């Protein structure tokens, strides 16, 4: 039974300089009891379509053509109708559970208010119903918990409350805009299961918007793949993912890191539809000449020894021992050998980034020792020697939008570290150096005169890599380098990192929450949980034969997607 | 070259919001006119009010041209010494603007220096600086200026008072304005300091001074610019108030505030124009700067941006 029907939907954003088409000729239908996923890269218009259904498109966006029919009612540009339907017939789940609940009201207030707005239940009945809803979404002890404030719930629990809120008025259609993007894998698994169960129990139509192919593979019946506002592929999920027909879709599927095996490099599709593998082997020659040839020695490069980190130690009045406080890192030890890629994986709050900051010298450890090439960092005696080592450890950050100084031209971003380490470098070799670096990361030389805001996220991440390489590092720390990027861009950046590592014999510490990415990148992996290490082993051993129960749990819960390419 | 710059400006987002805002256009035209007039006072003003040969007591208390007894020679009338009001005001606005700009630049240097270092370095230094600003913010700025003015005058011999008036005022107003800058820049620095490009510079090993000057400072210029614009009108008003209270510029070298003070004495004997015109002039000047500052705050604030 079709109940949502979207026909030839066109949405345009009129800006001062141009008209951007966020959706072109989009049509699809949704049945009750069905979950449709809308996937696409950032800017492909997936959220715009969802917002159009509830008539909440941001200004200056406008629906210029088409129709949205919900049970034969036209919703397009019809504010009066949509307002009565929004919340009642259509429930909406937002991405971030931290901000989609009002922190000043208890859960009870928010649920009862929503129910009473749309139905004529009295207070007692509404309260009763709210408690029933909370039980349904799996919140324990709902009689008591309903009087709590949002901040008293954890992220996953809060998303459950948001779902309860969305289904509180018995909607027929549930729209979930990136419902699990802000959550950890284990919680994501539970939320997706909850959504699946609700769809069946309540006979809902569900529209899930996500960039994560894993989520799509896990939960949806049908999938719509969007690109630049147009539907490029549409059909049964497993069919689309296993045998994509359009080229856009093929290249998207090929870029998704598979969870079931390690592949050497991600493949691209050339415009003619052929598979190609890009490498930058020829480009590294100049860099190698400049750096001097590095022998792959396999000796111990970094020794992270029994490190503990406590964050509030600087408080003047606290007299408690380190032992009593919450530890961001608890007695963590591992080694990294020269030339390998070492992975750190864990959920949020497990201390991954703290380790990166300690190694790079941004934070001092509370206890323990870090040796780089047998030299103890953070030992005041070694101060002069440590200075010589500066630059040998470099870092690539997660957020490409804040990791480049917006007031610097690309040329100056890259030349700054070079000038800092080679004070009397002449102009000619400086330019030569910059050109080599920019070539190797695959950015055109003309972009040197431009500013960071003119580049996309992936290009910025490449520029970050060029800046990190400018100091001739031996250890490169990558802290979630691709988690802000689209899958196809992620594949390119990961390929680049692999190339660089092979050519330049770099040692990489790769930090990520994404097990599939870690599997593609790393030789050895350490699994972190709440500041301590559960398991360190070779990548394939971890994936095929996990020892620790937490590792097993993580592997069981991760959304699985298997590549056929 | 210059047409290109103007074209680029009009093409940018800020230029676009400027063209869209009538208030911004009108107030910037008024402000620029006043600045240009006072800058070229020698050419624009009908008389030089400080030249004794232009002053005749016979002309004292001439009303404005449209009143009974007005003279074509003195469009806005004359004061009690027979000085042409219009010329005196033009020269007075020159003094007011100089003091305004100089003191706000002084306050900016002091406040930005303390704010950036406090925000970036943190620790005990930050606590001390920020408590200092808190303390100063509890004292009204006019009182602070009076205090500094009083102390400074205590150190300067009487014969030098009039010559040193301008420096004393700049110091006094500058010191009363810096806490605004310190607070804003500290807040902005705290935001920038934790951005990843600053962390990247730290990992490269750049020194704190280089990071503060080359990386953080250019990125926090916007809020500083807004505060400086609004602070400019405040500085001009503070200067006028001080002059009005008699601790600012001497009658021989009057600023707008001094003129208002003179006129105030004659307000009830019918010679209203002596105080009225400088007061209106001051209001228009301060208002145009404030409106410009308001527009700038909205235009430079990415959160309020309209496409």
Residues A380-425: tens digit of each pLDDT: 777 777 777 778 889 999 888 888 998 888 999 999 998 888 888 8
pLDDT band at B27 (very low <50, low <70, confident <90, very high): very high
pLDDT on residue B307? 41
pLDDT of res. A317: 53
Range ranked top by mean pLDDT from A10-24, A139-153, A295-309, B156-170: A139-153
> Residue A279: its pLDDT value, please?
58
B204 near A CB under 8 A:
yes
pLDDT score at A234: 87
- A 219-248 near B (Cβ less than 8 A): none
pLDDT at position A563 over 70: no
- Whether A405 sits inside 8 A of B219 (CB atoms) is yes
Q: Give B201→chain A minimum CA distance, Å.
A: 8
Q: Span A52-63, mean pLDDT?
A: 82
Which residues from chain A sit within 8 angstroms of residue B307, using beta carbons? 15-16, 59-60
Q: Say what the pLDDT of residue B284 is.
A: 94
Give pLDDT, residue A343: 92
Chain B residues with beta carbon closer than 8 angstroms to that of A398 = 196
Q: Is B43 on the interface with A (CB under 8 A)?
A: no
Residue B60 has pLDDT above 90, yes or no: no
Q: What is the pLDDT of residue B306?
A: 47
B302 touches chain A (CB under 8 A): no
% of chain B at pLDDT higher than 90: 38
> Which pLDDT does position A48 carry in this prediction?
86
Alpha helices in chain B (DSSP H): 2-11, 13-20, 22-39, 41-44, 85-121, 123-138, 141-155, 161-193, 196-204, 208-210, 217-219, 221-244, 256-266, 273-300
**Residue A134 above 80 pLDDT?**
yes
Residue A181 has pLDDT above 90, yes or no: no
Asked if A406 lies within 8 A of B219 by C-beta distance, the reply is yes
Average pLDDT of every residue of chain B? 86
Query: Contact A387/B197, CB-based, under 8 Å?
Result: no
- The minimal CB distance from B200 to the residues A15, A420, A467 is found for A467
Query: Which of A59, A407, A417 is closest, CB to CB, to B219?
Result: A407
Q: State residue A441's pLDDT score.
A: 85
* pLDDT at residue A281 greater than cutoff 70: no
Sign of the Cα pseudo-torsion (A137, A138, A141, A147, in order): negative
Number of A/B CB contacts below 8 angstroms equals 55
Of A257-271, A381-395, B204-218, the range with the highest mean pLDDT is B204-218
Q: What is the Cα–Cα distance from A363 to A23, expressed in whole angstroms?
A: 46
- Across the interface, which of A390, A398, A467 has its CB nearest the CB of B205? A390
Contacts of A59 in chain B (CB under 8 A): 306-307
Tens digits of per-residue pLDDT, A421-446? 888 888 888 888 888 888 888 888 88
Within 218-237 of B, beta carbons closer than 8 Å to A belong to 218-219
Q: Is the pLDDT of residue A496 over 80?
A: yes
Residue A402 C-alpha, separation from nearest chain B C-alpha, in angstroms? 6
What is residue A526's predicted lDDT score, i.e. its pLDDT? 93
For residue A475, the cross-strand partners are: A393, A507
How many residues in total does chain A contain? 565
* Test mutation, B19, B200, B205, chain A, max A CBs within 10 A: B200
Per-residue confidence band for A321, with pLDDT thresholds at 50, 70 and 90: low
Which structure tokens are listed for A455?
A: 């580049």
Q: Does A406 touch chain B (CB under 8 A)?
A: yes
Is the confidence at residue A4, as pLDDT, over 60?
yes
Predicted pLDDT of residue A274: 63
CB-based contact A395 B215, cutoff 8 Å: no
| pLDDT, position A296 | 66
Q: How far is B269 from chain A (nearest CA, A)?
A: 58
Q: Which of A386, A448, A366 is nearest to A415 (CA)?
A: A448
* Residue B25: band (very low, low, confident or very high) from pLDDT cuts 50, 70, 90: very high
DSSP string across A275-323:
EE----TTTHHHHHHHH-PPP----EEEEEEEEEEEGGGG-SS----GG
The answer to whether the CB atoms of B202 and A404 lie below 8 A apart is no
Kindly indicate the confidence band of residue B209, based on its pLDDT and cuts at 50, 70 and 90.
very high
CB < 8 Å to A387, chain B: 205
* Structure confidence by residue, pLDDT tens digits, A356-384: 989 988 888 888 888 888 888 877 777 77
Q: Cβ of B199 and A60 within 8 Å?
A: no
Q: Which of residues 7-26 of B touch A (CB under 8 A)?
A: 16
**List of long-range contacts for A258-261, beta carbons under 8 Å, 24+ apart:** A258/A516, A258/A520, A258/A561, A258/A562, A258/A563, A259/A214, A259/A515, A259/A516, A259/A519, A259/A558, A259/A559, A259/A560, A259/A561, A259/A562, A260/A560, A260/A562, A260/A563, A261/A563
* Residue A1: per-residue pLDDT: 61
Residue of A nearest to B218 (CA): A407
Rg (CA), chain B: 23
Q: Do A361 and B201 touch (CB under 8 A)?
A: no
Contacts of B196 in chain A (CB under 8 A): 397-399, 402-403
Cα dihedral B106, B111, B117, B123 in deg (nearest 10): 140
pLDDT at A565: 55
Strand partners, A375: A372
Q: Is the CB of residue A548 less than 8 Å from the CB of residue A534?
A: yes
A453 vs B: CB within 8 A = no
Task: For B179-188, write each residue's pLDDT tens digit.
Answer: 999 999 999 9
* CB-based contact, A361 to chain B, within 8 Å: yes
Nearest to B42 by CA among B30, B54, B31, B32: B54
| Lowest-pLDDT range of A57-66, A73-82, B261-270, B296-305 | B296-305
Looking at residue B304, its pLDDT comes to: 56
Closest CB to B203: pick one of A360, A399, A404. Answer: A360
List the single best residue of A315, A405, A472 to mutate versus B (max B Cβ within 10 A).
Answer: A405
| Length reported for chain B | 307
| Residues above pLDDT 70, as percent of chain B | 98
Residue of chain A with shortest Cα separation from B201: A417
Calculate the average pLDDT of chain A: 84
A97-106, A276-285, B24-33, range with greatest mean pLDDT:
B24-33
pLDDT at A29 over 60: yes
Give the confidence band of A275 by pLDDT, cuts at 50, 70, 90: low
E strands along A346-426, which residues?
Answer: 367-372, 375-377, 393-396
CA distance B195 to chain A (A): 6
| pLDDT in the model for residue B58 | 74
Quick one: pLDDT at residue A39?
A: 87
Residue B106's pLDDT band (cuts 50, 70, 90): very high
pLDDT classification of A330: cutoffs 50, 70, 90: confident
Q: Tell me how far apart the alpha carbons of residues A88 and A93 are, in angstroms, rounded to a whole number.
A: 13
User: If pLDDT is split at 50, 70 and 90, which confidence band does B159 have?
Assistant: confident
Measured torsion, CA atoms of residues A188, A191, A195, A201, in degrees rounded to the nearest 10: 140
> How crowded is the C-beta side of B4, counted as CA atoms within 13 Å?
1
Lowest mean pLDDT among A130-144, A296-310, B230-244: A296-310
**Checking DSSP bridges between strand A524-529 and strand A341-345, what pairing results, if any?**
parallel
Q: Do A361 and B218 touch (CB under 8 A)?
A: no
């Amino acid at each position: 039974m079709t109940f949502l029907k979207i026909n030839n939907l066109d949405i345009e954003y009129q800006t001062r300089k141009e008209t951007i088409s966020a959706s072109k000729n989009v049509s699809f239908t949704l049945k009750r009891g069905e979950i449709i996923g809308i996937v696409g890269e950032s800017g492909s218009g997936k959220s715009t379509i969802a917002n159009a259904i509830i008539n909440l498109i941001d200004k200056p966006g406008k629906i210029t053509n088409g129709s949205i029919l919900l049970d034969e009612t036209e919703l397009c540009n019809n504010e009066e109708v949509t307002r009565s339907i929004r919340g009642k017939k259509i429930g909406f789940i937002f991405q971030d559970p931290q901000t989609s609940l009002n922190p000043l009201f208890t859960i009870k207030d928010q649920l009862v208010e929503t129910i009473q707005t749309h139905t004529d239940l009295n207070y007692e009945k509404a309260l009763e119903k709210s408690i029933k809803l909370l039980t349904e979404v799996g919140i324990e002890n709902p009689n008591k918990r309903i009087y709590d404030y949002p901040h008293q719930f954890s992220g996953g629990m809060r998303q459950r409350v948001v779902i309860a809120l969305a289904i509180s008025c018995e909607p027929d259609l549930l729209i979930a805009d990136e419902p699990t993007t802000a959550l950890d894998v284990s919680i994501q698994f539970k939320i997706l299961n909850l959504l699946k169960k609700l769809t069946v129990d309540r006979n809902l139509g569900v529209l899930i918007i996500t960039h994560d192919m894993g989520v799509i593979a896990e939960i949806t019946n049908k999938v719509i793949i969007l690109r630049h506002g147009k539907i490029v592929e549409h059909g049964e999920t497993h069919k689309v993912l296993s045998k994509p027909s359009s080229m856009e879709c093929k290249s998207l599927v090929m870029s998704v890191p598979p969870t079931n095996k390690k592949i050497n490099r991600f493949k691209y599709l050339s415009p003619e539809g052929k598979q190609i593998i890009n490498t930058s082997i020829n480009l590294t020659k100049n860099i190698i000449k400049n750096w001097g040839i590095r022998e792959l020695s396999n000796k111990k490069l970094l020794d992270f020894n029994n490190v503990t980190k406590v964050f509030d130690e600087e408080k003047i009045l606290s007299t408690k021992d380190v032992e009593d406080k919450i530890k961001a890192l608890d007695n963590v030890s591992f080694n990294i050998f020269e030339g390998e890629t070492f992975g750190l994986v864990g959920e949020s709050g497990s201390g991954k980034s703290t380790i990166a900051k300690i190694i790079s010298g941004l934070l001092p450890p509370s206890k323990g020792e870090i040796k780089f090439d047998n030299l103890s960092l953070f030992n005041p005696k070694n101060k002069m020697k440590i200075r010589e080592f500066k630059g040998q450890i470099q870092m690539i950050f997660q957020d490409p939008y804040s990791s480049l100084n917006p007031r610097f031209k690309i040329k100056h971003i890259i030349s700054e570290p070079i000038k800092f380490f080679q004070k009397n470098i002449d102009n000619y070799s400086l330019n030569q150096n910059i050109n080599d670096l920019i070539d190797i990361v695959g950015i055109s030389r003309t972009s040197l005169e431009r500013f960071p805001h003119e580049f996309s996220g992936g290009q910025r991440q490449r520029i970050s890599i060029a800046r990190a390489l400018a100091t001739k590092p031996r250890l490169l720390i990558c802290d979630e380098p691709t988690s802000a990027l689209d899958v196809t861009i992620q594949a390119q950046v990961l390929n680049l990192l692999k190339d660089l590592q092979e050519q330049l014999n770099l040692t990489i510490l790769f930090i990520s929450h994404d097990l599939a990415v870690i599997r593609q990148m790393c030789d050895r992996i350490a699994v972190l949980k709440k500041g301590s290490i559960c398991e360190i082993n070779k990548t394939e051993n971890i994936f095929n034969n996990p020892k620790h129960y937490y590792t097993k749990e993580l592997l069981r819960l991760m959304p699985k997607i298997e590549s056929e390419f | 070259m210059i047409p290109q710059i103007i074209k680029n400006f009009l093409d940018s987002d800020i230029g676009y919001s400027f063209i869209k805002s009538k208030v911004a256009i009108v107030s910037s035209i008024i402000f620029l006119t006043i600045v240009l007039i006072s800058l070229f006072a020698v050419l624009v003003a009908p008389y030089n009010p400080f030249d004794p040969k232009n002053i005749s007591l016979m002309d004292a208390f001439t009303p404005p041209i449209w009143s009974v007894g007005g003279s074509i020679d003195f469009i806005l009338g004359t004061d009690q010494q027979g000085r042409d009001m219009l010329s005196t005001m033009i020269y007075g606005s020159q003094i007011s603007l100089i003091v305004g700009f100089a003191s706000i630049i002084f306050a900016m240097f002091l406040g930005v220096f303390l704010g950036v270092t406090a925000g970036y370095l943190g620790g005990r230094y930050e606590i001390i600086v920020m408590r200092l600003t808190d303390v100063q913010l509890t004292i009204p700025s006019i009182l602070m200026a009076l205090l500094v003015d009083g102390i400074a005058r205590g150190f300067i011999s009487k014969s030098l008072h009039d010559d040193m008036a301008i420096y004393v005022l700049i110091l006094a107003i500058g010191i009363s304005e810096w806490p605004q800058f310190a607070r804003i820049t500290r807040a902005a620095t705290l935001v920038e300091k934790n951005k990843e490009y600053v962390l990247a510079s730290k990992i490269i090993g750049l020194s704190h001074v280089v990071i503060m000057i080359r990386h953080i400072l250019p990125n926090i210029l916007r809020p500083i610019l807004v505060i400086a614009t609004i602070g400019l009108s405040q500085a001009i008003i503070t200067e006028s108030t001080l002059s009005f209270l008699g601790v600012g510029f001497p009658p021989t070298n009057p600023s707008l505030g001094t003129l208002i003070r003179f006129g105030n004495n004659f307000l009830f004997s019918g010679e209203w124009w002596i105080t009225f015109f400088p007061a209106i002039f001051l209001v228009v000047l301060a208002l145009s700067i404030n409106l410009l500052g308001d527009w700038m705050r909205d235009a430079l604030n990415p959160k309020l941006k309209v496409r």
